Chains A and B, each alone.
Chain A
Amino acid sequence: MINIKHNKKTGLIFLLLFSVVIVADAQDATFTTSVDRNRVAIGEQFEITFTLNGSGSGSNFRPPSFNDFLTLSGPNQSTNMQFINGAMSASVTYSYVLQPRAEGKFVIPPAFINHGGKQLQTQPITIEVTKGAPQQKQQSKQSQQESDIGKQIGDNLFLKVVVDKARVYQGEQITATYKIYTRVNVINYSMTKVPSLTGFWSEELDIPKQVQLSTEVVNGKQYRVGILKKAALFPQRSGTLTIDQMEVECVVQVQSRRRSNDIFDQFFNDSFFGNVANVSHKVRNQPLNITVLPLPAADMPAGFGGAVGKFSMEAWLDKRQTKTNEPVTLKVKISGRGNLKLLEAPIINVTSDIEKYDPKISDNVTKQNDQIAGSRTFEYLLIPRHPGDQKISSVQFAFFDIEKKSFVTLSSSEFILNVEKGSETAPTYAVGISKEDVKLLGEDIRFIKSETISLRRKVDTFIGSLMFFVLSVTPILAFVGFILYAKRREKLQGNLILVRNRKARKLAHRRLAEAKKFLDSKKKEEFYTEISRALWGYVADKLGIPPSDLSVDFVRTTLERRSVPIEVINKLTSTIEICEFARFAPATDAVQMDQAYQETVELISTIEEKL
């Protein structure tokens, strides 16, 4: 695109032509709005200005909403004061730079301001947004001339971006050089559009301030070549990335072919006088595609943080000995070539006894020979909280070696930090102790004990000792011995009474069982014999009466003496009598037999209880 700079008047006329001036409904103050043009193309900018003219300044300026436009800047406020014939007039302007979003006609609603107790408002303003560049139509005459000059300049001036490699790994450095090739006289140039370089992390490389020209031959033509910009680019993602356009506006001296009516112009317009004109000419380079290869994901080490290049690592502690709560610094210096400024801090593994802070990062980067090189230092502040030999595991740093095309993991040695107990009096306690415990912390321990009785030899445990066995076995043996002894004594001393006493009940039961058999087989005589024997036998055994002394009377008196109730004694004698009598009775009375048996059983258990 060629744009000839006319004298400034033209621009001013345009401004006046397109500005819309609306006088606000106010006596002494006017509030107006204006735009620098109301026909704009998409992508172009325009300025809208709200001006308050009058004595004093307004307050509470409320701009309209620019919903259909992109606000590029604003509000930009400026104040202008004048004194004419002693009267002050001031004008306050609020301006915005807007860019349309879409095609069509848009109305910018009025703005409001308070002035002198009144609310002033501007008129709405219409903006027409066109697709193309509207100037071209209006400036068709000029565009003719521009294309003329464009032809003249042609391929004598162009911009080119050159890279050192077009296929790189993600994170590998590319050096991009923007060069201008010229065969015409470039008086001046300015960069109007800086490449955005999306997808790259870029670092500007140093170029001489004064463009140094060299010569290069392209397509058989010799050009003067100047380097405008040089950048180290590090692709941030894989795929195809584009190094986009840069636009440079050059002021070029060209031979003017314009026919003028001016006689002087005609006269001077020949080669001798070299009727030259300074035209500005915009040049853009062709976008360049870069193929970015992804790093081999399969071999990627765990701690890989995106470092690509060639690095070495150093790690050291500023001191190996410290006290609790006194900080030490662990420095990790990574130096080499590559995307140094993108290096992530290596992860430091310390025990929970050491408090670790985020690293302080300092860079020392040089750009010699178009290579980003140097070092990045990470300083980790470590504060040991507890004494002891604290281990800091080795620092690991992984990067992709661009020369070997493989991952490399560097690791430092392990560090042992000797931590002594610090001098501070307040010890650090772990969190999570209860209120009660906190109270206890201040308490003193209880006083010592002075009892000496329990002092004993450590090896002497009572359990398993001889004494223990003697004491625990003795009662068992004594008990068994006692039983044996008692039995033997009974036998030896013929203490039959005692034996009889103990066996009385057993014997009586045996006899009763026998009687029961006879009862069942209805043998009357044998039954009664057995019953009376059981009774007599039991009483004799229990009372220790020899069989020779056994008589009803003797038994009676003995039982009375042993305080057995009289009813029981009566019952006993009557039962014995019944037995004696029934033995020889002719009839067999089953009911009577049964009754006699029951009574005997009862009697024996009653006497057993009473004695």
Chain B
Amino acid sequence: MRKFWIIVTLFICELAIAQEAAIQFEQANQLYRSGEYQKAVQMFEQVIKNGYESSALYYNLGNVYFKLDNLPASILNFERAKRLSPNDDDINYNLRLANLRVIDKIEPIPRLFIINWWKSFVNMFSSSEWSWVAIIFLWVAAICGAFIFVLRSVTFQRLVFVGTVIALFIVVLSSINMFQRYQSEQKEQWAVVFSQTVSVKSAPDAQSTDLFVLHEGVRVEFLDAVGEWRKIRLADGKVGWLMVEAVQVI
């Protein structure tokens, strides 16, 4: 019984802190509206420091940085927002706008349309949303399955059986999507270049030859790591090594 009360107390504390974060978030938005971007940045960063996140939070912070002309930070936060809500229109629009200001123009390798469809289907929900879909349909399947044994009419039994199969199919599909999204959300495999200029090397060694130069705001994908060096790939398929200090993980 004592344990129960401890849990309840913790839960209430949790709620109170969450309440505070929400208030801070609201205050930061107010600062943004009044044009006090520098203060707004501090407030948003405080919310993040307290361990909270949401796509709206990152999106708003990205907006503030954009207004402050801090391009890489703006892109980083838009990318973080996008990671949580990949299909959000506002986020994608602002990210595109910010990317236009990036010096390097990187043409992404075109993907097969079917892969794009699948990607945007997977990105429809976040991993937890997908997990909810999976759980709900798992319940539906279980209840339908039970009904097969309860119902006496063969017709109804068949109907319920078909329902069970469909529900189970949805469970499998959403579980796959859940895992895919979960991976892309959890793995630290994307980063944004923060150095104004950085020479990408051919090997994890400062003496190796320069392959190309990147400027702030470019998104790179991590492929490998050796000490402080990261092997990166650009959207257009170029591969090279750079120091981890030049980038920030999304």
Contact of B131 among A389, A459, A462 (CB under 8 A): A462
Interface of chain B residues 188 through 238 with chain A (CB within 8 A): 195-197, 199, 210, 213, 215
Q: How far is the CA of A476 from the CA of B93 in the complex (A)?
A: 43
Chain A residues whose CB sits within 8 angstroms of the CB of B128 once the complex forms: 461-463
Contact: A456 with B52, CB < 8 Å? yes
Whether B26 is near chain A, meaning CB under 8 Å from some CB there, is yes
Q: In the complex, how many angstroms separate the beta carbon of B107 from the nearest chain A beta carbon?
A: 8
Q: In the complex, how many angstroms separate the beta carbon of A409 from the nearest chain B beta carbon?
A: 18
Q: How far is the CA of A389 from the CA of B197 in the complex (A)?
A: 7
Contact: B135 with A471, CB < 8 Å? yes
Whether B142 is near chain A, meaning CB under 8 Å from some CB there, is yes
Contact: A446 with B197, CB < 8 Å? no
Q: In the complex, how many angstroms separate the beta carbon of A415 from the nearest chain B beta carbon?
A: 14
Contact: B215 with A482, CB < 8 Å? no
Chain A residues whose CB sits within 8 angstroms of the CB of B56 once the complex forms: 448-452, 454-455
Q: In the complex, how many angstroms separate the beta carbon of B73 from the nearest chain A beta carbon?
A: 14
Whether A526 is near chain B, meaning CB under 8 Å from some CB there, is no
Q: How far is the CA of A64 from the CA of B84 in the complex (A)?
A: 89
Interface of chain B residues 102 through 147 with chain A (CB within 8 A): 103-105, 127-128, 131-132, 134-135, 138-139, 141-143, 145-146
Chain B residues whose CB sits within 8 angstroms of the CB of A430 once the complex forms: 103-105
Chain B residues whose CB sits within 8 angstroms of the CB of A602 once the complex forms: none
Chain A residues whose CB sits within 8 angstroms of the CB of B134 once the complex forms: 472
The dominant DSSP class at the B interface is helix
Closest to A461 in B: B128
Instruction: Please tell me which stretch of A167-175, A275-283, A433-441 contacts chain B, meaning at least 4 of its Cβ atoms lie within 8 angstroms of it.
Output: A433-441
Q: How far is the CA of A176 from the CA of B115 in the complex (A)?
A: 78
Contact: A482 with B131, CB < 8 Å? no
A446 touching B93 in the complex, CB below 8 Å, given contacts A351-B199, A388-B197: yes
Contact of B105 among A386, A433, A452 (CB under 8 A): A433
Contact of A454 among B54, B100, B127, B210 (CB under 8 A): B54
Interface of chain A residues 475 through 496 with chain B (CB within 8 A): 475-476, 478-479, 482-483, 486
Whether A391 is near chain B, meaning CB under 8 Å from some CB there, is yes
Chain A residues whose CB sits within 8 angstroms of the CB of B245 once the complex forms: none
Closest to A391 in B: B199
Q: In the complex, how many angstroms separate the beta carbon of B138 from the nearest chain A beta carbon?
A: 5
Interface of chain A residues 333 through 385 with chain B (CB within 8 A): 351-353
Total A-B pairs in contact (CB under 8 Å)? 144
Q: How far is the CA of A486 from the CA of B48 in the complex (A)?
A: 52
Whether A458 is near chain B, meaning CB under 8 Å from some CB there, is yes
Contact: A446 with B94, CB < 8 Å? yes
Closest to B145 in A: A479
Whether A443 is near chain B, meaning CB under 8 Å from some CB there, is yes
Q: In the complex, how many angstroms separate the beta carbon of B183 from the nearest chain A beta carbon?
A: 11
Chain A residues whose CB sits within 8 angstroms of the CB of B25 once the complex forms: 452, 455
Question: Considering residues B47, B131, B154, which has the most beta carbons from chain A within 10 angstroms of its beta carbon?
Answer: B131
Chain B residues whose CB sits within 8 angstroms of the CB of A390 once the complex forms: 197
Whether A427 is near chain B, meaning CB under 8 Å from some CB there, is yes
Q: In the complex, how many angstroms separate the beta carbon of A462 from the nearest chain B beta carbon?
A: 4
Q: How far is the CA of A433 from the CA of B101 in the complex (A)?
A: 10
Whether B45 is near chain A, meaning CB under 8 Å from some CB there, is no
The digit string for B41-73, where 1 denotes a CB below 8 A from any CB of A, is: 000000110011111110110010011000000
Q: How far is the CA of A522 from the CA of B75 in the complex (A)?
A: 88
Q: How far is the CA of A447 from the CA of B32 in the complex (A)?
A: 10
Closest to A448 in B: B60
Contact of B178 among A440, A459, A463, A482 (CB under 8 A): A463
Whether B21 is near chain A, meaning CB under 8 Å from some CB there, is yes
Whether B3 is near chain A, meaning CB under 8 Å from some CB there, is no
Whether A220 is near chain B, meaning CB under 8 Å from some CB there, is no
Contact: B149 with A450, CB < 8 Å? no
Q: In the complex, how many angstroms separate the beta carbon of A500 from the nearest chain B beta carbon?
A: 12
Contact: B138 with A352, CB < 8 Å? no
Closest to A445 in B: B94
5 closest cross-chain pairs (CB), A and B: A388-B196, A388-B197, A475-B142, A462-B128, A449-B56
Besides A353-B213, A461-B185, 20 new A-B residue pairs in contact (Cβ under 8 A), listed by A number: A386-B103, A386-B196, A386-B215, A388-B196, A388-B197, A419-B196, A433-B100, A441-B100, A443-B97, A447-B63, A448-B60, A449-B90, A455-B53, A461-B127, A461-B186, A468-B131, A472-B131, A474-B139, A482-B146, A501-B152
CB<8 Å pairs between A and B, sample of 14: A386-B196, A429-B100, A432-B105, A440-B97, A446-B93, A449-B59, A455-B18, A457-B52, A461-B182, A461-B186, A462-B131, A472-B138, A478-B146, A479-B142
Residues of B within 8 A of A (CB): 18, 21-22, 25-26, 29, 32-33, 47-48, 51-57, 59-60, 63, 66-67, 90, 93-94, 96-98, 100-101, 103-105, 127-128, 131-132, 134-135, 138-139, 141-143, 145-146, 149-150, 152, 154, 178, 182, 185-186, 195-197, 199, 210, 213, 215
